[in-house]
Chain A
Amino acid sequence: MKRGFIILSVITACLLAYAGYQALVVAPTERTMGDVQRIFYYHVPSAWTAFLLFFINFVASVQFLASAKPSRQAVAKWIVIAIAIIGVIAAFLPAVQEQLKSTGMRPSALATTVLMLPVFYFLIGKWFPGQRLDMLAVTAAEVGVVFCTVVLVTGPIWARPVWGIWWATGDIRLTSTLVLWLIYVSYLVLRRFSNSAQTQMLAAALAVFGALDVPLVYFSIWFFRTQHPQPVIGGGGSIDPRMLHILLINWVSFLCFAFLVCWARFRLELLRRQVEDEYAMESLGEAASTGARASLPLKRNAS
């Protein structure tokens, strides 16, 4: 386990260095924006990684809520399958295709996004049973917030020289991303400061509602008028193939980095719960010994 982590750390460090070199030195300079456009190689992969982590948090939370009862589990499974089938069929219906054409989005992009749901749902359910679902949910949310913070910081740094303003007030892409960040920060605050036995369930329910903002952020540039640049993948915008290649290298390196951080955070959560269990056992032991001492005179009296 430890060896695997070290090997992956070395691979990720090499990948990040290579991706950074590609982004800063090799990538062609954009004609209108100049060098400041290179921020895009960190901003966009960070956003995609944050979305993926929030999506994992959503799936783990749904699984956790469903795992309370076997009947609920079966219903959730069939709902996920139905969403995937309806989503894929709908993406290729002529009426929907016509609608998508006006936004510049490819039907395959919509179908792929919808298909991710059952794939992740069944993989997460298989690999993270019981309490591990909750641990995965908190891990994904925390690391997702870090990546979302990077998006919210690098975005305005790019916008200042290009748009002339740090933040376009009222822009749906920017506002919905900020709301997304706030939802997941409140999720983490809830988990950190609530001592109720229902905290895990409440947090899972909040995550399910919070995740509704992810598609809004993701699809907002297709469906609304926004100052934010058009998407580079899935239709709507165009990009130099060399830039796209370097963007994908950066995303892979960021994904490896996120996986590594999640691995460490999940391990920390395992240890933290081990400590909680030990404390619980200790207080149970103390209570039992106090109870035994208290019941001793009673026994004597009885005898």
Chain B
Amino acid sequence: MNAIKFLAAAYIATWLIHGTYLTTLVGRFQRVRRELAELGKSGQRRM
């Protein structure tokens, strides 16, 4: 029973680490895309 608890903890920790990283990656993508769109708009206004 104890072994199963450690096994579950390791598997949960693994996917928690990957999940957290993927979430930050998605957030950074959204921020960069927003910045690109804003830059595009400001470029159009200047023209």
Chain A residues with CB under 8 Å of chain B are: 20, 24, 33-36, 38-39, 42-43, 46, 146, 149-150, 153-154, 157-158, 160-161, 257, 261, 264-265, 268, 271-272, 274-275, 278-279, 282, 285
**B residues 1-31 in Cβ contact with A at 8 Å:** 2-4, 6-7, 9-11, 13-14, 17-18, 21-22, 25, 28-29
CA A268 – CA B14 in complex, angstroms? 23
| Residues of chain A contacted by B46 (CB below 8 angstroms) | 285
Contact of B32 among A20, A34, A271 (CB under 8 A): A271
Per CB-CB distance, the 3 closest pairs between chain A and chain B, nearest first, are A36-B3, A39-B10, A35-B3
Name the residue on B nearest A257 (C-beta). Answer: B18
| Residues of chain A contacted by B21 (CB below 8 angstroms) | 146, 261
| Residues of chain A contacted by B42 (CB below 8 angstroms) | 282
* Residue contact A43 to B10, C-beta cutoff 8 Å: yes
Q: Is the interface of B mostly helix, strand, loop or mixed?
A: helix
| Residues of chain B contacted by A150 (CB below 8 angstroms) | 13-14, 17-18
Known contacts A149-B17, A154-B13, A272-B32: A282-B7 contact under CB 8 Å: no
* Residue contact A282 to B32, C-beta cutoff 8 Å: no
CA A274 – CA B32 in complex, angstroms? 9
A-B CB contact pairs (8 Å), 9 listed: A35-B3, A35-B4, A146-B21, A153-B13, A154-B10, A158-B6, A161-B6, A271-B33, A272-B32
- Please count the residue pairs between chain A and chain B whose beta carbons lie under 8 angstroms apart in the complex: 76
Given contacts A153-B17, A157-B10, A279-B39, 4 further A-B contacts (CB under 8 A): A39-B11, A261-B21, A268-B32, A271-B33
| Residues of chain A contacted by B43 (CB below 8 angstroms) | 278, 282
CA A90 – CA B18 in complex, angstroms? 40
* Residue contact B6 to A268, C-beta cutoff 8 Å: no
* Residue contact B18 to A278, C-beta cutoff 8 Å: no
CA A146 – CA B23 in complex, angstroms? 13
CA A43 – CA B18 in complex, angstroms? 13
Name the residue on B nearest A40 (C-beta). Answer: B10
B40 to chain A, nearest CB (A): 8
* Residue contact A268 to B10, C-beta cutoff 8 Å: no
CA A20 – CA B22 in complex, angstroms? 19
| Residues of chain A contacted by B35 (CB below 8 angstroms) | 275
* Residue contact B29 to A157, C-beta cutoff 8 Å: no
A185 to chain B, nearest CB (A): 13
Contact of A271 among B3, B4, B9, B36 (CB under 8 A): B36
* Residue contact A160 to B6, C-beta cutoff 8 Å: yes
Most chain A CB within 10 A, of B6, B9, B28, B35, is at: B6
